[in-house]
Chains A and B, each alone.
Chain A
Amino acid sequence: MTTTTGISTHTGRAAPLNQANVDTDQIIPKQFLTGVTRAGYGKHLFHDWRYLDLNEQELNPDFALNMPEYQHASILLCRENFGCGSSREHAPWALADYGFKVIIATSFADIFYGNCINNQLLPVALGNEQMDTLFDHVNAQPEAEIHVDLPNQTVSVADHQFSFDIAGQHKQNLLKGLDAIGQTLEHEGQIEKYEDNEPVWL
């Protein structure tokens, strides 16, 4: 968890991944979890879907991220329960390393959502119909730019504008790029006080 510059607004193209229950095993399969750093996971993002071979030489032309029109996308569109399964933070590391700044989905799994916040990757949850609109728009006009405004909590494309919810603490952390550990250590006195009163058997 490092101090980074915050995220405020973002404008970019979106890639459509029109599928529910995309789990973190799909986002980054197990054979790429043996690293000891946070870097370099982007090339393995969605490995099983993105590549036809194990050595990542042959691209799957049917996978959205490989289509010419969705190159340089910085926003990912998905459906419900995105990021379910394993707690592996390698999943947001891979998404961010690939170049995604914002993930817009119908819903997210809890652990993944928190991991995104801790990595300056903005998770935006929108309703089913709003997601349908975004998918339709991006399918019809891949070059369309989507504008995401965190301070105002809105997503805009063409004439459409949608509001989204985010917890105040999460919003602040994303906006300011706060060092969460540093923040907590400011309360060291309270932590010590808690420890002084713990049961003896612990």
Chain B
Amino acid sequence: MAKTLYDKVYDAHIIKAPGDDNLLYIDRHLIHEVTSPQAFAGLKEKNRKVRRPDRTIATMDHSISTRSLALDACGPQNALQLQTLANNCAEHGIELFAVGHQKQGIVHVMGPELGLIQPGMTVVCGDSHTATHGAFGALAFGIGTSQVEHVLATQTLKQSKAKSMLIQVDGQLAAGTTAKDIVLAIIGRIGHAGATGYVIEYAGDAIRALSMEERMTVCNMSIEAGAKAGLIAPDETTFAYLQGRDYAPTESHWQDAKTYWQTLYSDAEAQFDKVVTLKAGDIAPQVTWGTNPGQVIGVNTPIPAPNDFTDASERESAAKALDYMGLQAGTKLSDVAINQVFIGSCTNGRIEDLRSAASIAQQGKVADNVTAIVVPGSAAVKRQAEAEGLDQIFLQAGFEWRLPGCSMCLGMNDDVLQKHDRCASTSNRNFEGRQGRGARTHLVSPAMAAAAALRGHFADVRDFQE
């Protein structure tokens, strides 16, 4: 029978099928300080061990300062959480990339750049943006802390089969539009819960043309449409990215691995439960106007009115969002002033993102009333950016250049916005209060964020030089 890519990866990991909840083997488990302490405490309570410390990798990312390497830089509670992770990793023999380690980074930036994520793997992490790793053709999804404990103890997870959705992005992206714009446009089309209960496979010429980092940006936000996971079939772009990375298969196993990886695609006759098609050429640079990522428009589209929505629930959500965001329907985005810019996160904190932002940043200075920070996604991204002189471009333009971490995406450290701050952010969630109580978040691509920083309001990046 014809199989989808999701079927193939799922089926290859079934240990047993007890009724409606299959038991799947988990190949890679990524952990961090926020969602793991209670899981380790649970193990201790039952006197259980970590089954595969060799398949578990830890990093510090959410609770850490982006100004100091000290664990207590953001207060004693954050320090306790970070120290707890260090203690748990030491006790169970788990490799940890702590603050200051050359391999430290946001869990979803660090994993791929080290070659830890490979096609056909099952990957989990106590973080919803684990969907990122689907860019490699891995089945990757976020889990809760009880499930983290289950994976630590058994290296398996009960996981029923989701429905399948094919999202086909045909044609070519226009100049000035990016992977971030693709995924925001997709969520705008299918809605914030449009893929709940589904695993998405992204396909089509526009997806094939993306680099691995761009594919990660697309898959990263699968959860923002409610999807369990988002996958892209591996190809030569994937193999070239992986070859030679620290944890990728060694030369003696490379050909065997690649031969297997090349079987990982959806068969031509495979059936999907739902198919969505977009034309890449129709996608303009995207900006969210509301309080969920599905409330998004092209940069030159006026802000919608509640009555523009036919669905009653969407109408109510729109009215509430406009109120929270302090926006009037019909306003042009170029008339919406911002005072904060955040460039970074597991969505857009990789080297290509920083290059893209820097190419705009070098064309001017950060506007007077704007605070703009650039937070590399990992220590490796930071080193690479500094080797290329990107840090100097940002600093000379008036951006702050910080240490790697999750930072203002969720503000578990001191990178928190104040009430009524308005932020152009390259992160993934524009929820009420996400970046700070009463703060207003607009999701954009790195280039659009840099453009907003220079202008002091949203601006069409296509009006800048290439």
Binding site for B on A (CB under 8 A): 1-2, 19-21, 23, 25-26, 29-31, 33-38, 48, 54, 79-81, 84-89, 92, 107, 109-111, 114-115, 118-119, 167-170, 180-181, 184-185, 187-188, 190-191, 194-195, 199-202
Contacts and interface: CB of A to CB of B under 8 A. Distances in A.
B276 interface: no
Given A118-B147, A169-B158, A20 B35 contact: no
A194 B128 contact: no
Interface residues of B, number: 75
Given A30-B412, A111-B223, A184-B150, 19 more contacts: A2-B46, A20-B316, A34-B412, A35-B37, A38-B38, A38-B41, A80-B313, A81-B226, A85-B223, A110-B226, A111-B142, A114-B144, A167-B21, A168-B20, A169-B18, A184-B23, A184-B153, A201-B118, A201-B257
B15 A190 contact: yes
Contacts of B35: 87-89
A31 B253 contact: no
B142 A84 contact: no
Interface string B31-61: 0001101100110011010010000000000
A87 B434 contact: no
Contacts of A20: 313, 316-317
Nearest to B433: A48
A23 B441 CA distance: 15
Contact of A87 (B27, B128, B313, B320): B128
B38 A25 contact: no
Contacts, number: 189
Interface of B: 15-16, 18-21, 23, 25, 27, 34-35, 37-38, 41-42, 45-46, 48, 51, 62-63, 77-78, 80-81, 84, 118, 121, 126-128, 141-147, 149-150, 153-156, 158, 160, 162, 192-193, 196-197, 223, 226, 228, 249-250, 253-254, 256-257, 260, 292, 313, 316-317, 320, 410-412, 429, 431-434, 437
Nearest to A112: B144
A187 B16 contact: yes
6 contacts: A29-B437, A88-B35, A114-B147, A181-B46, A184-B23, A202-B27
A131 B268 CA distance: 42
Nearest to B412: A30
A114 B274 CA distance: 23
Given A84-B226, A110-B196, A187-B15, A25 B431 contact: yes
Contacts of B121: 202
A37 B434 CA distance: 23
B81 A34 contact: yes
